[in-house]
């Protein structure tokens, strides 16, 4: 049954006029009566968004912490979805923040209760967030792990039943297996090496069933930036293969934390050359009755692929604070890449002849040709130094060469923002002193409207900031523990990288004077950790992902520790940005650090009733160099302490 609008439509007035009147009633009458604190900044933003929906245009809505921007875009999104009959898509910064919108007591639940509504909201998570039945079966044969046995025991009965599936329940979400560590999850979760399209378990797979479920949402679909961009880039190829696009046609698109969309766009356009995938595909091709010449070339490509990946591994540079390894493009590496590209080109030509002679299965040929075309294009980007950003990854899934395009604005302009849709960018940090030129140019957005409203909170009264100059890692640990004790837990400790968090975790595990429950990102599914942190007030949460989007009002979070200044790593992505800048530090490193710093301190004060302290740890040299920059983006004057 189609959901109805929360107001009656009249033949004498346009939908937008009636929406405007209803929004006014909600903010001036209904929500205040329900105990909501309504702010002028919020109402101003609400009526600016009306024009964006009416004119179907891009709007950059920069609104400080506490303006209630999420409530504003939710009201417009679900009303417009019901008016058009198409769901709105809300894309969050990453997978860790999706659950924040739908959590118990979150903004969606608050709206439903206040306005007596039932909003159909469904989550569209990336493929890595779903269980892979093939991998689970493989792990169970090799490993004796109670956690994996529990996962198997929790599977719905229809997964193992040979009968029809007239009725099913969705399953397989990472969140359903919250007790698993991230390391355990990588052993059973989907990864890019899985050939889902030809998998015999595909129609009983949790990922497939979740796709069918969220596509039927009538109001809201919530996903990550990465997933939305993957949808954009794969839409045509999926249709060609007889598959549905990852997301249905939408009525409007909201990019929460929209300042992070550029990197998600680059990431979605990334090409991945995986040794295992090329090897498996060509081995599969050999099972066909190919001609002898084709057979010889396939064997040569397989041998050259082995040699090239061995050569790549000999020319890697580890990057501190990053899982991306830099590739030294030595002449021998480039020559081998050129040989591999040319040989794959030869193979593609021979496959055309094989296809004409009908000696290869059509489906196998289609899959192999598409992947080989991608590899040839990727190798061209690798060889032509100025075209791509390159790095290497090693994981349990295998060895992967990753190639990312440097610029994406032209593709975004054509594939995304050419659509006549309302596109809403929401964040506290979208502009450079209310100038939106940088973000609009980097995303290929030529026409837009914008607004900037400050946070309404009294920071002078409720926030205390301390800069602490600490000489080394051990001193930073002491200051962090001291801060946690002073606030009796209730602390979020933010790290600049996974490796920094893991070093901290290792060093404090034998300390006897920590009497507070400690939660580490990676030990369990992230939204489960956030719930535990919120429910156990004396605990402290250590994370490297939650600089943005975390919303914990009240006494559960009254202390934030920034373990180090959040400068970007020296990895290939940021090195490419530095290479393209006239003033690398001033144009890349410092702006990134200050933006992330602003996001980090924004985790503390979430309502007008909140109060607490922030400790910013840095070296004495950093304090002397960056104190003025940091103070310029703080809402209060900091105190300074030297250890």
DSSP, residue by residue, 447-477:
SEEEEEE-----HHHHEEEEEEE--SHHHHH
**Alpha-carbon distances of 366 from 173, 201, 351, rounded to whole Å:** 31, 21, 10
CB 192 within 8 A of CB 402: no
**Could you tell me how many residues make up the chain?**
643
What's the half-sphere exposure (Cβ side, CA atoms, 13 Å) at 506?
7
Token look-up 């289609």 returns: 366
Residue 637 has pLDDT above 90, yes or no: yes
For the segment 149-196, what is each residue's pLDDT rounded down to a tens digit? 999 999 998 888 766 656 678 899 999 998 999 999 999 999 876 777
| Mean pLDDT over the full length of the chain | 90
Closest CA to 19 of 104, 82, 71, 100: 82
* Mean pLDDT across 528-543: 93
Q: 272-403 — its CATH code?
A: 1.20.1440
pTM of structure: 0.81
DSSP, residue by residue, 133-189:
HHHHHHHHHH---HHHHHHHHHS-GGGT--S--SS-----BGGGGTTS-HHHHHHHB
DSSP, residue by residue, 381-447:
HHHSTTTEEEEEEEETTEEEEEEEES--HHHHHHHTTTSSS-EEEEES--SBTTB-HHHHHHTT--S
Residues 549 and 546: their CA atoms lie apart, in Å, by 7
Domain 463-642 has CATH 3.40.462.40: no
Residue 1 has pLDDT above 60, yes or no: no
Q: Is 559 helix (H, G, I), strand (E, B) or coil?
A: strand
Token digits for 221?
A: 């679909």
Domain boundaries defined on the chain: 128-201, 272-403, 463-642
Token digits for 130?
A: 């779903």
pLDDT at 575: 83
* Mean pLDDT across 106-130: 93
* Mean pLDDT across 448-455: 93
């Amino acid at each position: 049954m189609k959901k109805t609008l929360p107001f009656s439509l009249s033949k004498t007035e346009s939908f937008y006029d009636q929406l405007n009147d209803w929004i006014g009633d909600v903010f001036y009458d209904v929500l205040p009566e329900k105990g909501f604190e309504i702010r002028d900044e919020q109402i101003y933003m609400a009526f600016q968004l009306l024009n964006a929906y009416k004119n179907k245009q891009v709007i950059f809505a920069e609104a400080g912490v506490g303006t209630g921007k999420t409530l504003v875009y939710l009201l417009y999104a679900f009303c417009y979805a019901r008016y058009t009959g198409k769901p709105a898509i809300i894309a969050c910064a990453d997978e860790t923040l999706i659950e924040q919108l739908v959590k118990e007591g979150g903004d969606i639940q608050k709206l439903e209760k206040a306005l007596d509504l039932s909003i159909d909201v469904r989550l569209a998570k990336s493929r890595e967030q779903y269980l892979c039945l093939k991998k689970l079966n493989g792990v169970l044969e090799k490993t004796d792990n109670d956690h994996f046995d529990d996962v198997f025991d929790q599977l719905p009965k229809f997964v193992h039943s040979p009968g029809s599936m007239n009725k099913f329940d969705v399953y397989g979400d990472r969140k359903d297996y919250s007790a698993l560590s991230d390391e355990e999850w990588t052993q059973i979760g989907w990864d890019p090496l899985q050939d889902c399209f030809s998998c015999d378990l595909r129609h009983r797979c949790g990922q497939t069933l979740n796709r069918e479920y969220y596509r039927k949402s009538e109001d809201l679909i919530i996903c990550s930036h990465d997933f939305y961009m993957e949808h954009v880039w794969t839409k045509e190829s999926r249709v060609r293969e007889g598959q549905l696009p990852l997301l249905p046609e939408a009525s409007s698109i909201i990019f929460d934390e929209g300042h992070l969309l550029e990197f998600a766009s680059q990431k979605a356009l990334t090409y991945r050359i995986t040794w295992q995938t090329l090897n498996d595909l060509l081995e599969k091709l050999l099972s066909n009755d190919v001609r002898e010449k084709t057979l010889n070339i396939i064997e040569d490509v397989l041998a050259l692929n082995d040699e090239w990946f061995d050569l790549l591994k000999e020319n890697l540079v580890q990057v501190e604070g990053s899982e991306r390894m830099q590739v030294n493009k030595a002449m021998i590496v480039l020559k081998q890449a050129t040989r591999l590209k040319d040989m794959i080109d030869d193979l593609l030509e021979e496959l055309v002849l094989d296809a004409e002679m009908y000696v290869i299965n059509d489906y196998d040929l289609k899959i192999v040709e598409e992947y080989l075309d991608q590899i040839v294009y990727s190798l061209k980007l690798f060889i032509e130094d100025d075209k791509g950003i390159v790095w290497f990854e090693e994981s349990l899934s295998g060895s992967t060469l990753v190639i990312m395009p440097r610029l994406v604005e032209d593709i975004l302009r054509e594939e995304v923002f050419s659509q006549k849709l309302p596109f809403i960018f929401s964040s506290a940090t979208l502009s450079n002193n209310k100038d939106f030129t940088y973000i609009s140019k980097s995303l290929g957005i030529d026409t837009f409207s914008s607004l900037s409203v400050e946070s309404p909170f009294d920071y002078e009264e409720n926030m205390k900031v301390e800069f602490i100059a600490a000489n080394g890692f051990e001193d930073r640990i002491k200051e962090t523990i001291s801060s946690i004790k002073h606030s009796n837990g209730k602390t979020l400790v933010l790290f600049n990288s996974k490796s920094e968090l893991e070093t901290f975790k290792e060093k404090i595990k034998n300390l006897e004077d920590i009497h507070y429950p400690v939660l580490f990102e990676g030990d369990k599914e992230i939204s489960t950790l956030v719930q535990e942190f919120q429910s156990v007030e004396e605990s402290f949460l250590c994370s490297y992902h939650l600089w943005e989007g975390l919303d914990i009002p009240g006494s559960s979070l009254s202390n934030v520790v920034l373990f180090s200044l959040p400068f970007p790593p020296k990895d290939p992505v940021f090195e490419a940005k530095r290479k393209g800048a006239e003033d690398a530090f001033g144009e890349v490193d410092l702006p990134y650090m200050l933006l992330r710093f602003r996001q980090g301190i924004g985790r503390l004060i979430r309502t007008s009733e909140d109060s607490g302290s922030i400790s910013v740890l840095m070296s004495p040299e950093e304090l002397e160099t960056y104190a003025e920059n940091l103070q310029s983006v703080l809402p209060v004057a900091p105190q300074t302490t030297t250890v």
